Structure 1
Amino acid sequence: MAIGALIKDLREAQGWSQGRLADEINAAFGTGLNREYVSRWERSKVAPGNFYLRCLSAVLDVPLAVLEGEVKRRTFLSDVAATAIAPVVASDLISAGFAARLRGGPSVEDWEGKLANYGTEYMSLGAADIQRRVSGELVVVQQQLEEPRLWSVAARLMTLYAKTFPGSDGAKAVNWYRLAAESADQSGDDQARVWVRGRAAIALGYEGASLGVADMFADQAMAISDKPSLGLLNAVMGKAHAAAIRGDLKTACRLMDDGRRIFDSAGSHEQNSDYAVPWWRMNVFISLLAARLGDETTAVTAQEAARRELPDSLPRFATHLEMHRGLMLARSGDKQGGTAYARAALDALPPEKHSLTLRLLMAEVDQS
């Protein structure tokens, strides 16, 4: 997707016309931008230069790296090879891709089994291991995309891959979420289209990163279908977190209530998968959201409910809950005590269990 399409999506997520976007930039930066020039950006007739990229970053609430990355977009394969952080070299990836093409690759059913396994493993494995393994899978599935259902597989793999980069890293995470959304669109499967966008929204909203992009994905998911689903639940809760971080408490509370109603219809019984939102995980979402809203009663209630059902095999999520308490302490005025509490919780978790999201949460506590 070109820079113009991204600007349009972000503008629409704000509910702005092209003229309103031009006005916002003019008010903030004293420029003489007009609606026609915004239209030329969105139609990819001209790409914004460095100055206007900074303006767009500020008014659309998106990291500059995301916009710069879109202008300098690399190819699919080079993205995989360049961003893999474990010892998977480009020659190995290329070899795996050609082998898959020559031999036909796994069946759709085999791919669905792989996805189920990755969904479970993501809950306990470190980001580096998941990233290394999924990068190879992406190159293989890329060779099989004549089958529409495999576009859905690819989209879900890309979403998982994106989760191994922090949203604050800008271009890497967001570009992969956007590729995932485009791939889901190729599948023609609305459930996959909503899920991929909703998962991106809750990931970015929970991390407190790229809030404009979180809103964009959430709005797209809700526009595709308002049928209760895990994808819609993730979208609504991601948008709620973005609103809370911005200080829009009324919107955040309304969306939290909407999320609870969707959960009542679509919550899952599966406990240990990234593709599931059981009761304990819904309460993890609410715990952090309420902590950000300063609603201590709701936060503590959600934390206690989550602990009662949280599987012992998932200590990382118990750490999330403890760090939410640290955030509440810091927000209530005891910054030193809150920071120490959150840091102790993080340090108690073995380093190999740490996630990028936990590190971002620690940074949020530090900055409270």
Structure 2
Amino acid sequence: MAIGQLIRDLRKARGWSQSRLASEINKIFGTGLTREYVSNWECCKVTPGPFYLRCLSAVLDVPLAVLEAEVKRRTFISDVAAAAIAPVVASDLLTVGFSARLAGGPSVDDWEGKLAAYGTDYMSLGAADIQRRVSGELMVVQQQLDNPRLWSVASRLMTLYAKTFPGADGSKAVSWYRMAARAADESGDEAARVWVRGRAAIALGYEGASLGVADVLADQAMAISDKPSLGLLNAIMGKAHAAALRGDTATARKLLEQGRRVFDATGSHEQTSDYAVPWWRMNVFTSLLAARLGDENSAVAAQDAARRELPASLPRFATHLEMHRGLMLARSGDHAGGVAYARTAMDELPPEKHSLTLRLLMKEVEDS
């Protein structure tokens, strides 16, 4: 398959026009790409060079190696089309779903093991990889929901699936977060009800997207239970970020102090799971919050504390911390320097490890 056809198929799988693809690349990388140039790629009149291959890798959520390797392209496009266009009607997913129903599907313990593995994978894999895999799991667990305990599993899978869509999209991410909350309610599992809402709140608040929804879900989590938990911690910190972005400094600071007290009671020993909040991750939350509040000393202290304990296997989170520094620079008056600092940090991270959240942070730096 020619590179032009690959680009065209990936673009169409996301429902984008040529102009939209050019716009996404320009927005993130500050280029002057035009629709006509994208058309030239797709017609094979021009072959994108190494720089634009990295840009395409980032905006289309496809590993750079896939763009460069002819032999793997056709299989990957089939997977992308199934996940991005209509996962619920893809033949392989339907087969898996019905087979699970007929065979009874994995046990609850097996599902908990799968969730633990996904929690770890999320920390290092790209959104597209997680999205394709979790869509298949949702087809399977959907066939087992006569077991109330599996509503809890489904709700946590839905939350992870929602995280693979940009919160700024509004429709997709938020609808999945809301559905996850309803699924958790079906389970009757209080911990799951709080965690799902709290995880959605911190995702949306950290990304600076759908702040009203972040507040609603955080408030719901806090109303369900005030018992210290990681779900409650996420809810509080998500609400704090929403307050900071609205300019409500006093509320944001009050919530940060509340979050620190909850963290002291519930912080995780597990270091590399999305279901955990260890000390370094709490400091990542705090670093961005302090940067948004203009509290440079607190931001730098949180960044230094996070770096001391951040596992070397999670370079994406080190990039988060560098992006926070870029935001601080931009907000302090050096807009050009802040944008350049943040973009350099993004460029140093391999494109296949970029996340939707990092791109939203880049946009926040540029708009600050």
Where on the TM-score scale, by shorter chain, does this alignment land: which range? 0.7 to 0.9
CA shift, 1:220, in A, is: 0.1
CA distance in 2, matches of 1:317, 1:297: 20
Do the aligned partners of residues 87 and 124 (structure 1) sit closer, same or farther apart at CA in structure 2, a change above 3 Å counting?
A: farther
Whether the aligned pair in 1 keeps the contact of 2:197 and 2:235 (CA below 8 Å) is yes
CA distance in 1, matches of 2:82, 2:186: 24
CA shift, 1:85, in A, is: 2.6
Whether the aligned pair in 1 keeps the contact of 2:180 and 2:196 (CA below 8 Å) is yes
Report what 1:363 is aligned to: 363
State the Cα deviation string for residues 257-316 of structure 1 (Å, max 9, x = none).
000000000111000000000000000000000000000000000000000000000000
CA distance in 1, matches of 2:259, 2:238: 10
CA shift, 1:93, in A, is: 1.5
- TM-score normalised to structure 2 length: 0.77
CA distance in 1, matches of 2:209, 2:262: 24
Say whether residues 1:210 and 2:207 are aligned partners: no
Report what 2:149 is aligned to: 149
Whether the aligned pair in 1 keeps the contact of 2:82 and 2:90 (CA below 8 Å) is no
Whether the aligned pair in 1 keeps the contact of 2:207 and 2:360 (CA below 8 Å) is yes
State the Cα deviation string for residues 210-249 of structure 1 (Å, max 9, x = none).
0000000000000000000000000000000000000000
2:231 is aligned with what amino acid? Answer: G
Give structure 2 stretches of 5+ with no counterpart.
1-79
Aligned to 2:177, what secondary structure does the other structure show? helix
CA shift, 1:335, in A, is: 0.1
CA distance in 2, matches of 1:82, 1:90: 9
CA distance in 2, matches of 1:315, 1:181: 31
Q: How does 1:1-368 map to 2 (within 5 A)?
A: 84-85=83-84, 90-368=90-368
Aligned to 1:132, what secondary structure does the other structure show? helix
Aligned length: 288
Aligned to 2:271, what secondary structure does the other structure show? coil
CA shift, 1:127, in A, is: 0.2
Give structure 1 stretches of 5+ with no counterpart.
1-80
Do the aligned partners of residues 86 and 308 (structure 1) sit closer, same or farther apart at CA in structure 2, a change above 3 Å counting?
A: farther
CA shift, 1:84, in A, is: 2.4
1:330 is aligned with what amino acid? Answer: A
- TM-score normalised to structure 1 length: 0.77
Do the aligned partners of residues 160 and 83 (structure 1) sit closer, same or farther apart at CA in structure 2, a change above 3 Å counting?
A: farther
CA shift, 1:96, in A, is: 1.1
CA shift, 1:83, in A, is: 8.5
CA distance in 1, matches of 2:82, 2:297: 42
CA shift, 1:94, in A, is: 1.4
Deviates more, 1:328-337 or 1:95-104: 95-104
CA distance in 1, matches of 2:183, 2:363: 33
1:241 is aligned with what amino acid? Answer: H
Aligned to 1:228, what secondary structure does the other structure show? coil
Runs (4+) of structure 1 exceeding 6 A deviation are none
Aligned to 2:155, what secondary structure does the other structure show? helix
Whether the aligned pair in 2 keeps the contact of 1:87 and 1:132 (CA below 8 Å) is no
CA shift, 1:92, in A, is: 1.6
Do the aligned partners of residues 205 and 83 (structure 1) sit closer, same or farther apart at CA in structure 2, a change above 3 Å counting?
A: farther
State the Cα deviation string for residues 127-159 of structure 1 (Å, max 9, x = none).
000000000000100000111110000000000
Do the aligned partners of residues 274 and 86 (structure 1) sit closer, same or farther apart at CA in structure 2, a change above 3 Å counting?
A: farther
Whether the aligned pair in 1 keeps the contact of 2:124 and 2:353 (CA below 8 Å) is yes
Identity of aligned residues (%): 80
1:85 is aligned with what amino acid? Answer: A
Report what 1:23 is aligned to: none
Aligned to 1:84, what secondary structure does the other structure show? helix
CA distance in 1, matches of 2:313, 2:84: 26
Report what 1:63 is aligned to: none
State the Cα deviation string for residues 300-341 of structure 1 (Å, max 9, x = none).
000000000000000000000000000000000000000000
Whether the aligned pair in 1 keeps the contact of 2:166 and 2:357 (CA below 8 Å) is yes
CA shift, 1:86, in A, is: 8.3
CA distance in 2, matches of 1:87, 1:357: 24
Do the aligned partners of residues 202 and 147 (structure 1) sit closer, same or farther apart at CA in structure 2, a change above 3 Å counting?
A: same
RMSD: 1.4
